[in-house]
Amino acid sequence: MKHPVVATVNGAGQFRYSDLVERQAENVKQRASLRDIAAETGVSIATVSRVLNDHVNVAPRTRDLVLQAVERRRRETPARTRTVHLRCPYVLTDYFGLIVSSIAETLKLHGLRLLLDAGESGQHSDVLRGLPGGDVDAAILILPPEEGDELVALSRAGFPFVVVDPRTPPPPDIASVSAAHSAGARAVADHLIGLGHRDIAVIAGPEEWLAGDARLAGHRAALAKAGVLLTPDRVRHVEPTTAQGRSAAGELLGLGPRPTAIVCFNDKVAVGTVQAARERGLRVPDDLSVAGFDDIDLAEATYPRLTTVRQPLQEMGRMAVTQLMRVLDGHQPEALHIELATTLVVRDSTAAPRVG
């Protein structure tokens, strides 16, 4: 007699044919496994089934024979490859692309598989709620848009993850990797001050970003140490794009007196600033010094080549995987919040201010 096909319906009243198929496939694999063990030990499939279900009516010698075969097969079966969900909420630009490629290469070295979620789909916060109990074993979250309490909830669910370049200050018990934003900002401001600049404007990043706040604080600290007050009219907050950099620089260059140097949130904003200077007949660095942050390929490809701050983007990716491996192996990371050192790179876009 044929048994009827039974479909399942989930709590939302939706037919889950995939559940049925998965169970049928699992049953097929189980029968095949029983058949293999029976063939190896010379007993019937029914006997193998009784041993595995711990029935008492099996001779001790036969039971030992079957259990030894099961253990051998268990050792010979390769472990399931663990999968890491990598979420990057922006299109893979030079900046994020370097981090992502480094993470991918390092995961491969550890024998882990990568599931990449990039672009618009990576910006939805409901992604986090589906991670525990899903098809992935861990996650690396780049610049996550969620608030700290959502990250804490994910951690309390027992799901292992690491944050790279956190958008907001990470909760104390969440592992994170970032660059030393404030120290890098101080270094580039000190460089401009050392050249003799005192009227320095800042095109900062979004006000809600941790990196934007940290870099602006670094600029302020360096200027204050030199006895220079960074006034509100000398600061603009922008999204980190060339177009917004050009627009903000245009506003700053229209001030009187005009700043002699502009330090920018990133290299793209700096390129926009150079464009705005040219549109007004100003030469960089003769009439205006411009500095960026990140040291992506664009910094050397533009003219003049940008003075900037190098972030260790590839090292950030490698360190994130190192942190994650410790969590996956059941160990506490040696340091939960890691800041990697930045490097000032002096090129052609900065010079001493013109006298007179």
Write out pLDDT tens, residues 80-136. Answer: 688 999 998 776 678 888 999 999 999 999 889 999 888 765 565 577 878 888 889
CA distance 275 to 278: 5
Range name among 188-197, 218-227, 305-314, 322-331 with the lowest pLDDT average? 322-331
Write out pLDDT tens, residues 163-193. Answer: 999 988 888 888 999 999 999 999 999 999 9
Closest by CA to 19, choosing from 27, 31, 9, is 9
Write out pLDDT tens, residues 34-58. Answer: 788 888 888 888 888 888 877 778 8
**Residue where the block lists tokens 């790179």:** 345
Please indicate whether residue 78 or residue 96 has the higher confidence score (pLDDT).
96
**Residue where the block lists tokens 């003049």:** 304
pTM: 0.75
CB burial of 311-333 (b: ≥16 within 10 Å; e: otherwise) equals bbbebbbbbbbbbbbbbbeeeeb
All domains of the chain in start order, with CATH: 22-76 (1.10.260.40), 83-179+313-341 (3.40.50.2300), 181-312 (3.40.50.2300)
Average predicted confidence (pLDDT) for the chain: 85
Angle formed by the axes of helices 17-41 and 45-52, nearest 10°: 110
Torsions phi, psi of 314, nearest 5?
-70, -35
User: Residue 243: helix, strand or coil by DSSP?
Assistant: helix
Q: Which amino acid does the sequence have at 24?
A: Q
- Reported as a pLDDT band with limits 50, 70 and 90, residue 205 is very high
Find out whether 273 and 259 touch, Cβ atoms under 8 Å.
Answer: no
CA distance 155 to 80: 23
DSSP H/E element including 261: strand 261-264
